[in-house]
Chain A
Amino acid sequence: MPMIHMTVNGKAVKGHAEPRTLLVEFIRDTLRLTGTHVGCDTSQCGACVVHVDGHAIKSCTTLAVACEGAHVTTIEGLAHGTDLHPMQEAFREHHGLQCGYCTPGMIMSAVDMVNRKGHDLSEHTIREELEGNICRCTGYHNIVKAVAAGAKAMQGMAKAAE
């Protein structure tokens, strides 16, 4: 079995995995980072979304071995201790989650959305951009509110960092 090396949430990691191992399996089973979930087999639900080299991707449709040397961020890499990322905070503040299963993928997608589309996101944009993330609990109403608020808050974060 090949040895795979990556930087995950800022930490260099390695692990043996068969070539047929999916990135999500490597993250969950080898690295035991179980915040990234699997909700479907056909790349639709988005529960498995992580960032690879800065872009949101579906880790259930990516081979681990193809991510050799990549920088991967999972849901566990967003917060610093109890210091939540503004998008995480927005999901809590606006009740953008119920059972929590789709939530890691939703939040990772939302952060990527802001990275690409900016901080002022209309309801229409958010709903369209969430095409690859399915939630069964919330009816999306509060997720949309959370993403809009989180996007604005991320602007604050960017400013604070300046």
Chain B
Amino acid sequence: MSATGIGASVKRKEDFRFITGKGQYTADVNRHGQAHAYFLRSPHAHATIDAIDYAEALKMPGVCAIYTGKDLADDKIGGLICGWMIHSKDGSPMKAGGHPALAQGKVRYVGDHVAVIIADTLAEAKDAAEKINVSYGVLPANADTASAMTSATVHDVAPDNRVYDWHLGDKAATEAAFAKAAHVTKLDIINNRLVPNPMEPRAAVGEYEEGSGVFCLHTTSQNPHVARLVLSAFIGIAPENKLRVIAPDVGGGFGAKIFIYAEETVCVWAAKKVGRPVKWTADRTEAFLSDAHGRDHVSHAEMALDANNKIIGLRVKTTANLGAYLSTFSSSVPTYLYAPLLSGQYNIPAIYAEVDAVYTNTSPVDAYRGAGRPEATFLVERIVEVAARERGLDPAQFRQMNYITQFPHQTPLIFAYDAGDFNASMVKALDMADYKGVGARKAASAAKGKLRGIGFSSYIEACGIAPSAAVGSLGAGVGLWESAEVRVNAIGTVEVLTGSHSHGQGHETTFAQLVSDRLGIPIDNVSIVHGDTDKVQMGMGTYGSRSGAVGMSAISKALDKIEAKAKKVAGFVLEAADTDIEFKDGKFTVKGTDKTIDFGSVALQAYIAHKFTGAQLEPGLKEGAFYDPTNFTFPAGVHICEVEIDPDTGVTKIDRWTAVDDFGAVINPMIVEGQVHGGIAQGIGQALLEGAIYDKDGQLLTASYMDYTMPRADDLPSYKLGFTETRCPSNPLGIKGCGEAGAIAAPPAVINAITDALGHENIAMPATPQAVWRAAQKAVMKKAAE
């Protein structure tokens, strides 16, 4: 392994600009003559808009324009879309209510977009916004998931607020399994609503160049090409060849920046109307109100065991809150990103899942780190833990005796797991966590008046979110391949254009490692270009832990083509057939001879083209590839959490965290470990700290860091990480993906540990000190009564 090749913990190439303050985020983009947009948002969760009077506001200092939904409609600008079609049990399509970028006649959640004020400065835009008089007809509102279907109608197209009622699995087989079960474990589970909170708030700068008729949008996006596609083909801003979308440095995404939102739509549209660049930057409260939220499921689950404690069936009924409108990929999250994972790591012959998705008067809900898979994992790993406890079994052993051990394994729910060794991860994790010593540690805690508990999570996820034909058959409106173009310059330096987008993942380093490794050139000679639709022709972006498995595989495929072409060039130079040329360590050699030429020289020969004619070979060295994998990837692992609870205050301290993950091949262990750390932190956040809370009128009570608990350094432990490796057989690099694992694995590990400490007293997420204190009181009383 070279110091900068595959498998090396290469320090990140992108870091220099970030640690010196030279990153260029969207909010750092300033254009001559730019105006500032401010969105007037609905203070009501549900209301008709009877009139908007902005005559006085228009006269305020600095104001260029004020637009409402009517202006968008007059310009025939289409609404925001949901790009994944889900059908209900009866075959009817999901009920998608209209989603205009500026409200038309009705607002459906607090923060919904009523009007945009464009002014010389942001302060002037805000001053003017206060002069707008909106007549609202306030309607009954509902924010609650469980009661959504009996609440006031959010969209006329769905009178009972049900977007779809969907199911997956063999109902009859599952019923039969339960009929012969020796034991049934039942559990009610809420997966709490989260706000993604990348530290960079969303922002947009829209521009229009009159001479060429080209729009340009700088935006905080994880997938600028998808943004361009949607803004062009569906919203109708401009044809794709007249719309450039740039996602420069992006300060974290976690899913929330996949989607195409009202604000960027309005900024780019309005730039032409006002004849000036239009800039918008969210403040944090706007981010809380208008970024798509995550999770928010209410479920009931039942697990059937036979007399030997083998799991023989699982049935699940889930209600998923999708908020007031269907966000870009929202419909897929509680369906195909969720239910197929309900088999977990276990050999379960029969599973049946039903999902009702509902509208409520809340911010739209869509993919957030893990997207569906954390919800599935939480459900499976909680009910498995409870089942083990009910049967008096060691929770690790119960898992081990139900693990899938043969691969490939076809689950009852779509997926064919292609490779894994679940038990290897468990064995390693038990050892690293010193599971044998937990009894002694519990006693030591008890002696201090503290409660100690240990919790497991044996998770599996489906990543890559591809192949295209497969997702197409499940309702996706797009293909989920990835593209790459490798441009070799005449002196042998390389630019790689990728459709993946880096917003913290370190692609500029890992992708360069692959290229450096393959071409035998210094890593500094490789530049990664991404995030600009004028540079990269097309791409599907970064989410679903897909950049390694799919994005890098596309680069690998392009590199295959580069190598093939370079061999031809080398053949002409070395006067040998290209089939006789070997390429190794950056050198082309005629087999069995010492005739050799290095990569840089071949590149030069490709461009000067003196050694071959145009009829023999095209000059130049540039190749592109589109890569579509043959299967999803299935990262899996075991996380073990150990907590110590102060029963006097209910404070839960995470004392130890052990994670053993199988991500297949790893390009840069340092970066992979960083991804695991961050994921676990978000998972712990969900379990202990975070939760979006609405009041009964649909006001978001947790709309700033004063009330929404973000994990801070002193809330979290250091983590102990280990890895096992079974290579992924469905892509050339053997990569499974690592970006979401921690967020998927962590929540059940934490809650299993807390409930272990509390003597199995159940507790909801987030397990705040107050909730834990209450449960601890109950546990103590229960113990006293026994």
A–B contact at 8 Å CB threshold (below): yes
Residues of A within 8 A of B (CB): 18, 20, 28-29, 32-42, 44-45, 47, 74-76, 78-79, 82, 84, 88, 91-93, 95, 97-104, 107, 123, 126-128, 130-131, 133-144
B534: A residues at CB distance < 8 A: none
In whole Å, how far is B132's beta carbon from the nearest beta carbon of chain A?
Answer: 21
- Choose among B673, B704, B710 the residue that contacts A136 (Cβ–Cβ < 8 A): B710
Binds A, one of B17-25, B354-362, B551-559, B776-784: B17-25
- Are B252 and A34 touching (Cβ within 8 A)? no
Do residues A139 and B681 form an inter-chain contact, with CB atoms below 8 A?
Answer: yes
CB closest residue in chain A, given B668: A95
Q: When the two chains form their complex, are residues B18 and A103 in contact, meaning their CB atoms are under 8 A apart? A: yes
Interchain CA distance A95-B10 in the complex, whole Å: 10
Task: Determine if B21 and A141 form an interchain contact, defined as CB atoms under 8 angstroms apart.
Answer: no
Of chain B, the residue at the smallest CB distance from A29 is: B30
Q: Does B706 contact A (CB under 8 A)?
A: yes
- Inter-subunit contact A131/B19 (CB<8 Å): no
> CA separation between A139 and B674, bound complex, in Å?
8
- Enumerate B147-193 residues with CB–CB distance to A below 8 Å: none
With A and B bound together, what is the CA distance between A36 and B711 in angstroms?
Answer: 22
B residues in contact (CB < 8 Å) with A = 11-12, 14-25, 27-28, 30, 123, 197-201, 249-252, 254, 281, 283-285, 503-506, 670-671, 673-674, 677-682, 704-706, 710-714, 716, 718-719, 742
The minimal Cβ–Cβ distance linking B637 to chain A, given in whole angstroms, is 16
- What are the 5 tightest A-B residue pairs by CB atom distance, in nearest-first order? A35-B21, A101-B251, A100-B18, A139-B681, A99-B504
Partner of B712, one of A18, A20, A40, A130: A130
State whether A136 touches B705 (Cβ < 8 A). no
Q: A95-B12, A140-B716, A142-B677 are in contact. Are A35 and B252 (CB under 8 A)?
A: no
Q: Are the CB atoms of A141 and B677 closer together than 8 Å? A: yes
Q: Name the contact of A92 in the complex, choosing from B12, B24, B718 (C-beta under 8 A).
A: B12
B21 pairs with A104, CB closer than 8 A: yes
- Is B30 in contact with A91, judged by CB distance below 8 angstroms? no
Verify B712–A131 contact, CB threshold 8 A.
yes
Q: Which of A28, A29, A39, A123 has the most CB of B within 10 A?
A: A39
- In whole angstroms, how far apart are the Cα atoms of A71 and B320 in the complex? 53
Please determine whether A98 and B19 come into contact, CB atoms closer than 8 angstroms.
no
Q: Is the CB of A36 within 8 A of B503?
A: no
Given contacts A39-B201, A84-B19, A99-B200, contact A45 B714 (CB under 8 A): no
A139 with B15: CB separation less than 8 A? no
Q: Are B678 and A101 in contact (CB under 8 A)?
A: no
Say whether A138 contacts B706, CB under 8 Å. Answer: no
Whether B15 contacts A91 by the Cβ 8 Å rule is yes
Q: Contact between A103 and B718 (Cβ–Cβ < 8 Å)?
A: no
Q: How many A-B pairs with Cβ below 8 Å?
A: 184
CA distance A140 to B716 in the complex (A): 8
B742 to chain A: which residues have CB within 8 Å?
A: 139
CB pair A20–B19 under 8 Å, yes or no, is no
Given A35-B20, A44-B705, A139-B681, are A95 and B718 also a contact pair (CB < 8 Å)?
A: no
Instruction: Tell me if B680 and A139 are in contact (CB < 8 A).
Output: yes
Bound CA–CA A38/B251 (angstroms): 11
A139 touches B719 (CB 8 A): yes
| Residue in A40, A75, A95, A140 whose CB lies within 8 Å of B681 | A140
21 cross-chain CB contacts under 8 A: A34-B28, A35-B20, A38-B283, A39-B199, A45-B199, A47-B199, A84-B19, A88-B19, A99-B198, A99-B249, A99-B504, A100-B251, A107-B19, A135-B199, A136-B197, A136-B252, A136-B682, A137-B674, A139-B677, A139-B678, A143-B713
- By a CB distance below 8 angstroms, the chain A residues around B503 are 99
| Contact present for A42 and B681 (CB under 8 Å) | no
* Contact call B704/A37, Cβ cutoff below 8 A: no
- In the complex, the chain B residue whose C-beta lies closest to that of A108 is B21
Instruction: Let me know if B20 and A99 touch, CB within 8 A.
Output: no
Tell me if A97 and B714 are in contact (CB < 8 A): no
Residues B678 and A92 in contact, CB atoms below 8 Å apart: no
Contact (Cβ within 8 A) A39 B200: yes
Please indicate the chain A residues that have their CB under 8 angstroms from the CB of B671 in the complex. 95
Contact B504 A137 (CB under 8 A): yes
Residues A78 and B20 in contact in the complex (CB < 8 Å), given A127-B713, A131-B714 = yes
A47 to B251, CA, bound (A): 11
Nearest CB in chain B: distance from A49 CB, A: 12
Q: Which A residues touch B285, using CB under 8 A? A: 41
* CB nearest to B253 among chain A residues: A99
Q: Give chain B nearest CB distance to A1 CB in angstroms.
A: 12
- Chain A hits for B680, CB < 8 A: 139
Alpha-carbon separation in the docked complex, A78 to B284 (Å): 28
Residue of B nearest to A34 (CB): B28
CB contacts (< 8 Å) of B677 on chain A: these are 138-142
Instruction: Look across to chain B and name the residue whose beta carbon is closest to the beta carbon of A21.
Output: B123
Cross-chain contact A144 with B713 (CB below 8 angstroms):
yes
Cβ–Cβ < 8 Å partners of B674 in chain A: 95, 98, 137-138, 141-142
In angstroms, Cα B670 to Cα A92, docked, is: 11
Complex CA distance for A44 and B503, rounded to whole angstroms:
22
Instruction: Assess the A99–B713 pair: CB atoms within 8 A.
Output: no
Alpha-carbon gap, A33 to B713, bound state (A):
27
**Which residues from B are CB-within-8-Å of A29?**
30
Give the CA-CA distance A38 to B22 in the complex, in Å.
Answer: 15
Q: Given A45-B705, A99-B250, A137-B504, are A127 and B714 neighbors across the interface (CB < 8 Å)?
A: yes
Bound Cα distance A61, B680 (Å): 31
CB-defined contacts of A136 to chain B, threshold 8 Å: 197-199, 252, 254, 678, 682, 710
Closest CB in chain B relative to A118 CB, distance in Å: 18
Would you give the shortest CB distance from A14 to chain B, in whole angstroms?
A: 19
